[in-house]
Amino acid sequence: MGAETGAGRLWPLGALAVAFMALAPQVLQLFTIINLTTAIALALLGLSLGLIWGYGGILCFGQTVFFGLGAYAYAVAAQNFGDTSTAVLVAIAVGAAFAALLGYFMFFGRVSDVYLGAITLTVTLVFFSLIRRTSGPEYKIGDALLGGFNGTSAPPLTLPWDSAAILFPNQLFYVAMSALTLSYFGCVWLTRSRFGRVCAAVRENETRAELLGYDARLYKLGLFTIGGGLAGLAGVLMANGVGRVTPDLFGLPYAAQAIIWVIVGGRGTLIGPILGAFGIFYLNSWLGSQQLVNLNVVLGLVLIVFVLLLPQGLAPTAMDLAARAMRGRGRARRRRRPRRALAAEPAE
Amino acid sequence: MDLFLALALQIVYGVSNLALISLGLAIIFGMMRVINLAHGEFIMLGGYTVIVATSHGVNLWFAMLVLAPLVVGLVGVIVERVLIRHLYGRMIDTLLATWGLSLFLIGAVTTIFGPQTTTTISPPIGAVQIGGYGSSGYELFLILITLAAVAGVYAVLRLTKLGLVARATMQRPDMASALGVSTSQVYMLTFGFGSAVAGLAGGLLAPITGVVPTVGAIYIAKAFITVISGGAAILAGTLSASSLLGVVNGVISYATGPTLGEVALLLTAIVIIRIMPQGITGRFFRKSL
Amino acid sequence: MARARSRTRRETVVETRNLSMRFGGVTANDDVNFRLEAGELRCLIGPNGAGKSTFFKCLTGQLKPTEGVVTIRGVDMTGADPHQVAQLGVGVKTQVPNVFDGLSVRENIWLAARRAHGAERAERLTAETLERVRLGDIRARAVGALAHGQRQWVELGMVMAAEPWLVLLDEPAAGMTDEETVFTAELIREINRTASLIVVEHDMNFIRAIAGRVTVFHRGAILMEGPMDEVSADPTVRDVYLGHKH
């Protein structure tokens, strides 16, 4: 469907990502690069939520559960196998598999909206409580002690063909940035495929989709599973950026922030949640260094203001303004599409 | 026998505790179809009200039973006017906005009082003996006061004119406004009433749990899941869900420790929602309050 | 009666046997035995609350009948999900316009065409359907922004684009202007060239325009069946339905 829609605009974005990847390690300090890897991990988490919420209408309050599971799966597998490439695959598989399980449980029970939010939030908090409790020596998977409140160490990524060759922070940054870029383009492709368009149809009107002969539950399950896999990959990057995995990955603060990234960046876009995550991450560290206002005050106000005044989020609003500016220059090539259509079609 | 009695008492306390922290949220959800995710922070504000008041020499009972609900009820009215009012009929957006409010309140209270409170209040009632086992007198008192709160809410909904008008408005907003009732005012008062009940819970629990800005997180998941699994009927929903979840929590906690008890509670709630997507009262006791 | 004899040789495409639907204590459908033959255009009429829409929803899979059996082309579809009914090649239009508001007109139709067909065929069908429902000019607009009549046509277009052999329409002309109604009737006759139809309808003039056989519902059961003229002349029908015309 969408091959005609704005495909040209994707290339500059890809070029920008590659340029950033090439230049950042030259220009930025090592500390900043390490920090950036963490920000990229969070951006990927944001992308995964943006995909399932924006394109599937699945309001998941606990996307962190797949994030945390991915991170733990990576750490445990890497400690056991020594080979981090397998560990990455395990992490993605665990995130996707748990999403499939939870999704089957919810979608085939026709759980939706607030109830879905309640269940997913609860599940992530269950993991938070459970994993905090695993501090004793009896809580180990293979060689890996789970470590309770303090978490467990995450061995850094190595070269796939040489498990002794640990990646340097710069190389880790390349890996993270590539993972994010590829995931993003993968998601764009997905949302323009038949599968993605049907998911959007299910989001718009589940009854109608069913009356056309699409099994809405299966499409939601598929999208949710993909989102879980992506969040699992985000967990791998997070584990590498921080070097440890802790129960906090499952906690309320990350769960809330993921929602905020998507709201601020824009529901129904894929670039929005990524930019939202970066923006909030740096706002976060800036506020941390300033000691001016409490972070939660700012985050709370941001969320309220966006829900009340700018429910579209920044990315669609910016695109809307840009479109208006184009017309303002007298180039009324096409009739202005209503905003909802803009948000719904793959606009990146 | 004494052990059994002590265990039973512990479970009853767990049930009443769950009912107490959920009741305010249930009132707002049942009457307005609004989920207030800042509910945990409303409870937290109730606790801080008691701390501040008692440190200024106010009588503890007065602070817990009168000041905490009053202050938080007022906060609720303000929040309804400033925020919730703009979002009626948009359930998801309300959820998101109140999540924002929750973060804001955590941040604001941290800014004012710091991340920890040094002031602690000790429970005003000492231990009582049941056979060979000591039991907290204050917990017994909390069970009684929860019963009183439930009865009070029932009385307000069933007997007062406000309750009648509120129930009518919630069911048929168009009809009520045709009768000359200001829907807007009813919503405001209802939200205030629910918030006041949350404040009462916060005040009463302050001596037991202590008060820190992030204490709301402990309550919100439990209250949210209790209300959702209870369904739309305020009292029947809260009572049935708290009983079921409280017993599960109590038994599992007794057998394995508090963490697993909590996990069992949450998992049971998830299963309830999966089996009964409209909550317990969506299937049973439909006509009840 | 030559027509009736020839009809008996045709295939039965929809049949219900002893279908009943109860909600709590309310009986919406009571022992309905219904048959539709291939190529037929059948209108379901009856006063509000007669059970037409409930019956319709039992056919589409939106409701599971309390008792009785629904078969579509000989296949037992009792209690099937809507998507399973649709996958047989059944097109459904519900009472309230049921469309994808946030998506464009073209995409709405494409989603219907693409379900059963490959990419190329779907593209072609989409283009054809857009012309047939005369929405080609506004194909890029979001359906949510369209006028009521246009939204109804989008939905009809979605039904047509899937190339169904059986079509179920619930009040396709509701809320339309006279002019729009005429075009809708035209579309329905066009659909009938390749598909059997069941149309739930209130509007007598509209039923005359599409000229179908009529089944009258009353208190959840079938009161009588026959050509429109015969039915509208019947004193009982006049009493329960035409007498209380809205």
**Per-residue pLDDT, B275:** 87
Q: Say which residue, B279 or C143, is predicted with more confidence.
A: C143
**Per-residue pLDDT, A336:** 42
Copy the structure tokens of residue A217. 């539950």
Backbone angles phi, psi at A133, to 5 degrees: -85, -5
Size of interface A-B (CB pairs under 8 A): 113
Copy the structure tokens of residue A60. 């998941």
> Considering the entire predicted model, what is its pTM?
0.89
Write the DSSP assignment of A145-198 as a string of letters: E--GGG-EE-PPPEETTEEEEEPPHHHHHHHHHHHHHHHHHHHHHHHHSHHHHH
Which residues, 6+ apart, have CB-to-CB distance to A20 below 8 Å? A177
* Calpha distance A151→A247 (Å, rounded): 6
Q: Is the pLDDT of residue B36 over 80?
A: yes
Which residues in B39-183 belong to E strands, given as ranges?
127-130, 133-136
Inspect the interface and report whether the beta carbons of A308 and B263 lie closer than 8 Å.
no
Inspect the interface and report whether the beta carbons of C87 and A213 lie closer than 8 Å.
yes
Closest Cα partner for B22 from B269, B208, B237, B215? B237
| Parallel, antiparallel or unpaired: strands C26-37 and C12-23 | antiparallel
- In chain C, where are the structural domains located? 2-89+164-244, 99-162
Backbone angles phi, psi at A291, to 5 degrees: 60, 25
* pLDDT average, residue stretch B267-289: 81
Inspect the interface and report whether the beta carbons of B228 and A263 lie closer than 8 Å.
no
Chain A touched by C95 (CB under 8 Å):
no
Nearest CA in chain A to C110: A1
Tens of pLDDT, residue by residue over B248-271, are 999 998 888 777 888 899 889 988
Chain B touched by A304 (CB under 8 Å):
yes
**What's the ipTM?**
0.88
Question: Of all residues in chain B, what percent carry a pLDDT higher than 70?
Answer: 91
Ranges under pLDDT 50 in chain C: 1-7, 245-246
Inter-CA distances, B66 with B50, B69, B109, B137, Å: 10, 6, 21, 21
CB atoms within 10 A of CB B129: 10
Copy the structure tokens of residue C144. 């949510």
**Per-residue pLDDT, C162:** 92
Q: Per residue of chain A (348 residues), give pLDDT as tens.
A: 333 344 457 888 888 998 998 888 888 888 889 899 999 999 999 999 999 999 999 999 999 999 999 999 999 999 998 889 999 999 999 999 999 999 999 999 888 778 899 889 989 988 998 898 888 888 888 888 898 889 999 999 998 888 888 888 899 999 999 999 999 999 999 999 999 999 999 999 999 999 999 999 999 999 999 999 999 999 999 999 999 999 999 998 999 999 999 999 999 899 999 999 999 999 988 888 877 788 899 999 999 999 999 988 998 888 888 878 877 764 444 444 444 443 344 433
Q: Give the DSSP H or E segment for C154.
A: helix C148-161
Chain A touched by C243 (CB under 8 Å):
no
Inspect the interface and report whether the beta carbons of C102 and A1 lie closer than 8 Å.
no
Residue C206 Cα to chain centre, angstroms:
14
CB atoms within 10 A of CB B119: 14
Candidates C103, C110, C120: best to mutate against A (most CBs of A within 10 A) is C103
Q: Say which residue, B70 or B138, is predicted with more confidence.
A: B70
- In chain B, where are the structural domains located? 2-215
* Calpha distance B204→B143 (Å, rounded): 11
SS3 label, residue B253: helix
Q: Residue A64 carries which side chain, given as an amino acid letter?
A: T
Q: What angle do CA B133, B136, B138 make, to 5 degrees?
A: 160
Please, are residues A216 and C86 in contact by the beta-carbon 8 Å criterion?
no
Tens of pLDDT, residue by residue over B229-240, are 998 888 989 999
Copy the structure tokens of residue A100. 């499939």
Q: What mean pLDDT value characterizes chain B?
A: 87
Closest Cα partner for A255 from A37, A36, A42, A34? A42
* Calpha distance C28→A181 (Å, rounded): 56
**Per-residue pLDDT, B130:** 66
Please, are residues A80 and A141 in contact by the beta-carbon 8 Å criterion?
yes
Cα dihedral B159→B165→B167→B170 (10° resolution): -170
Tens of pLDDT, residue by residue over B57-67, are 999 999 999 99
Residues of A in contact with B275 (CB under 8 A): 109
* Calpha distance C168→C53 (Å, rounded): 11
Q: What is the homologous superfamily of the domain C2-89+164-244 according to CATH? A: P-loop containing nucleotide triphosphate hydrolases (3.40.50.300)
Closest Cα partner for A65 from A224, A276, A257, A232? A232
- The sheet carrying C221-227 orders its strands as C90-93, C166-170, C196-200, C41-45, C213-218, C221-227
Size of interface A-C (CB pairs under 8 A): 96
Inspect the interface and report whether the beta carbons of B86 and A308 lie closer than 8 Å.
yes
Please, are residues A192 and A145 in contact by the beta-carbon 8 Å criterion?
no
Measure C115 CA to nearest chain A CA, in Å: 7
Inspect the interface and report whether the beta carbons of B96 and A125 lie closer than 8 Å.
no
Q: Which residues of B touch A (CB under 8 A)?
A: 35, 83, 86-87, 91-93, 95-97, 99-108, 110-111, 217, 221, 224-225, 228, 259-260, 262-263, 266-267, 269-270, 273-275, 277
Residues of C in contact with A345 (CB under 8 A): 103-104, 107
Q: Give the DSSP H or E segment for B15.
A: helix B2-32
Q: Give the DSSP H or E segment for A16.
A: helix A10-27
Q: Give the DSSP H or E segment for B39.
A: helix B39-55
Residue A114 Cα to chain centre, angstroms:
21
